[in-house]
């Protein structure tokens, strides 16, 4: 079964905890702190794998958790960082945040994409030694790794998409111009999965053609198989609309043409503007006047028309040459840019628990909900920093620090972000 949408839960590894240790050696008095840092947690990385063609594997495994970093040890030994967890997906997969719908990555090339970052390792007590605090008996725990639900959506990468009603000859056309071997039979929905074929026109010249199945009236609303597969048309640079000009199914070819174009427009208005060629198949089953009437109908709407008989390749070479000519004038296959993080309005934030501990004048704040907000803030940007300051005030973090005894000049530690408390 062809699967092109899946929802999974991913969790990057937490950072290892820093160590509290002191140097012990014969004849060395007061060796001082030597606790090592914790290792970084593994990130969740998505990588294209061309051996995969569907998202079916994600039906059976829906949770992906990377390993935790090792804890630090004495002797200033840092913990080992955990390996990244690599999730392999088909080329053309979009990764979206399931909660917000924000696009995180478009896996269309071979560059790995980090979707969830592993947590940083905690500092060992060596970092907290000062002239007045020579024996710090505390260290920092590792930071949590990012955790989120993501929706995977496969949109095939093809230069040309064949659209049209079932049983009009799309699969036959793909089979005669490429080495693809789709199922071909004289009944509707023979093809229930998109079929990709590479069309070669000589040395170094080729393009990818996709047979998009299941388009009938109401496809954009989920009728038939159309809603499942219409998304694969969105990346195609050029559409070839295949029509049964003979009306062998008892339908009017002109009405078929209008109906499919309307389904494309309703699913995505941009598809109505996509360059299109029209192939009139099964010309041998009707008379010349019917074919010419359909030609005049199509050309009056600004489309080039090619009468073909796909099984015997009649007219197919001319169609393929025109496709190649048009593709050479069109931009590359559509790639989607990741969407930037949008800062949540402060008044909409829901503050959670705030845990504050004090060690030798340093106030450590732990609040997982606040850590997620910090990941969206760019501290080098004045507006972003001002936003974070408002968050600390309006969510009660500043008041909680006051209640814990924090006063002017004390050091506050927010997940490795340190600042002096100012009243």
- Give ∠ CA 289-294-298 in degrees, rounded to 5: 150
Greatest CA separation for the chain: 107
Nearest to 388 by CA among 405, 404, 371: 371
For tokens 């198989």, what's the residue?
225
Q: pLDDT over 90 for what percent of the chain?
A: 34
Alpha carbon distance 181, 221 (integer Å):
30
For residue 411, name the pLDDT band (cuts at 50, 70, 90). Answer: confident
Q: What is the pLDDT of residue 44?
A: 97
Q: Are 356 and 364 in contact (CB under 8 A)?
A: yes
Tokens (6 digits) for 244: 């049964």
Q: What are the beta bridge partners of residue 73?
A: 77
Fold of 344-423: GMP Synthetase; Chain A, domain 3 (3.30.300)
Mean per-residue pLDDT for 131-138? 79
> Per-domain residue ranges for the chain?
1-154, 160-327, 344-423
What's the CA angle centered on 419, arms 364 and 71, to 5 degrees?
45
DSSP for 71-124, written as a single string: PPBTTTBPPPPPPPEEEEE-TTEEEEETTT--EEEEE-SS--EEEEPPPPPPPP
The alpha-carbon radius of gyration of the chain (Å, integer) is: 30
Q: What is the pLDDT of residues 56-79, one digit of tens each?
A: 889 889 999 999 999 999 888 999
CATH topology of domain 160-327: Rossmann fold (3.40.50)
Tell me the pairing of strands 147-154 and 93-97: antiparallel
CATH of domain 1-154: 2.70.210.12
H or E element at residue 259: helix 253-267
Summarize pLDDT for 323-353 with one digit per residue, the tens: 999 999 998 888 888 887 766 676 666 677 8
């Amino acid at each position: 079964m062809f699967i092109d949408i899946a929802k999974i839960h991913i969790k990057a590894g937490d950072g290892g905890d820093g160590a509290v240790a002191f140097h012990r050696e014969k004849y060395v008095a007061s060796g001082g702190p030597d606790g090592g840092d914790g290792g970084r947690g593994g990130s969740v990385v998505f990588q294209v794998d061309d051996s995969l063609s569907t998202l079916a594997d994600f039906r059976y495994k829906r949770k992906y958790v990377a390993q935790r970093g090792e804890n630090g040890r004495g002797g200033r030994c840092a913990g080992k960082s955990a390996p990244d967890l690599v999730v392999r997906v088909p080329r053309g997969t979009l990764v979206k945040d399931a909660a917000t719908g924000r696009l995180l990555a478009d896996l269309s090339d071979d560059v790995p994409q980090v979707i969830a970052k592993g947590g940083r390792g905690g500092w060992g007590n060596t970092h907290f030694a000062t002239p007045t605090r020579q024996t710090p008996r505390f260290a920092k725990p590792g930071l949590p790794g990012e955790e989120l639900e993501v929706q995977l959506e496969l949109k095939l990468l093809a230069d040309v998409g064949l659209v049209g009603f079932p049983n009009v000859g799309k699969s036959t056309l793909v089979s005669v111009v490429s080495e693809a071997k789709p199922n071909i039979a004289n009944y509707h929905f023979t093809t229930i999965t998109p079929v990709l074929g590479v069309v070669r026109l000589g040395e170094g010249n080729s393009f990818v053609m996709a047979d998009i199945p299941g388009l009938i009236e109401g496809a954009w609303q989920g009728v038939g198989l159309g809603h499942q597969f219409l998304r694969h048309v969105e990346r195609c640079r050029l559409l070839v609309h295949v029509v049964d000009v003979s009306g062998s199914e008892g339908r009017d070819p002109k009405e078929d043409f209008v109906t499919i174009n309307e389904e494309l427009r309703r699913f995505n208005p941009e598809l109505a503007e996509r360059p299109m060629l029209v192939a009139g198949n099964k010309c041998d089953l009707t008379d010349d006047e019917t074919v010419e009437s359909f030609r005049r109908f199509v050309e009056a709407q600004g489309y080039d028309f090619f009468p073909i008989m796909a099984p015997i390749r009649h007219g197919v070479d001319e169609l393929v040459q025109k496709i190649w000519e048009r593709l050479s004038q069109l931009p590359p296959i559509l790639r989607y840019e990741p969407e930037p993080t949008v800062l949540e309005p402060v008044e909409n934030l829901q503050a959670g628990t705030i845990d504050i501990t004090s060690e030798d004048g340093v106030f450590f704040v732990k609040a997982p909900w606040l850590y997620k907000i910090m990941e969206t803030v760019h501290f080098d940007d004045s507006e972003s920093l001002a936003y974070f300051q408002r968050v600390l005030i309006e969510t009660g973090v500043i008041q909680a620090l006051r209640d814990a005894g924090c006063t002017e000049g004390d050091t506050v530690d927010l997940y490795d972000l340190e600042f002096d408390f100012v009243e």
